[in-house]
Amino acid sequence: MTGPRLTPLARSLPQDVPFVGPETQEREQGFPFRARLGANESAFGPSRHAIEAMARAATEMWKYPDSSSHELRHALAARMGAAPDQVMVGGGIDGLLGTLVRLTVAEGDAVVTSDGAYPTFNYHVTGFGGVLHKVPFREDAEDLDALLARAGEVDAKLCYLSNPDNPMGSWHSGAVIEAALDRIPDGTFLVLDEAYIEFAPDGTAPRIDPEDPRVIRFRTFSKAYGMAGARVGYATGARALIGAFDKVRDHFGMTRPAQEAAAAALADDVWLGEVQEQVALSKHRIGQIAQANGLTALPSATNFVTVDCGGDGDFARAVLKALGARGVFVRMPARPPQDRCIRIGAGTQAELDVLAEELPRALQDAREAAPA
Same domain, yes or no: 306 and 348 = yes
Whether residue 247 is contained in a domain is answered as yes
Same domain, yes or no: 91 and 222 = yes
Same domain, yes or no: 258 and 327 = no
Q: What is the pLDDT of residue 146?
A: 98
Same domain, yes or no: 31 and 64 = no
Whether residue 58 is contained in a domain is answered as yes
Q: What is the pLDDT of residue 16?
A: 76
- Whole-angstrom Cα distance, residue 93 to residue 201? 22
pLDDT tens digits, one per residue of 37-46: 999 999 999 9
- pTM for this model (two decimals): 0.95
Q: What is the pLDDT of residue 307?
A: 98
Same domain, yes or no: 179 and 206 = yes
Whether residue 305 is contained in a domain is answered as yes
- Whole-angstrom Cα distance, residue 123 to residue 136? 18
Q: What is the pLDDT of residue 17?
A: 75
Same domain, yes or no: 66 and 101 = yes
Domain endpoint, select from 267, 286, 304: 267
Q: Which residue numbers in the chain have pLDDT < 70?
A: 1, 372
Question: The domain spanning residue 125 has which CATH number?
Answer: 3.40.640.10
Pairing of strands 304-308, 341-345: antiparallel
Same domain, yes or no: 206 and 294 = no
pLDDT tens digits, one per residue of 253-276: 999 999 999 999 999 999 999 999
- Whole-angstrom Cα distance, residue 11 to residue 358? 43
Domain endpoint, select from 267, 299, 324: 267
Whether residue 14 is contained in a domain is answered as no
Whether residue 206 is contained in a domain is answered as yes
Domain endpoint, select from 267, 292, 325: 267
Per the structure, the complete domain to which residue 147 belongs is given by: 48-267
Q: What is the pLDDT of residue 372?
A: 61
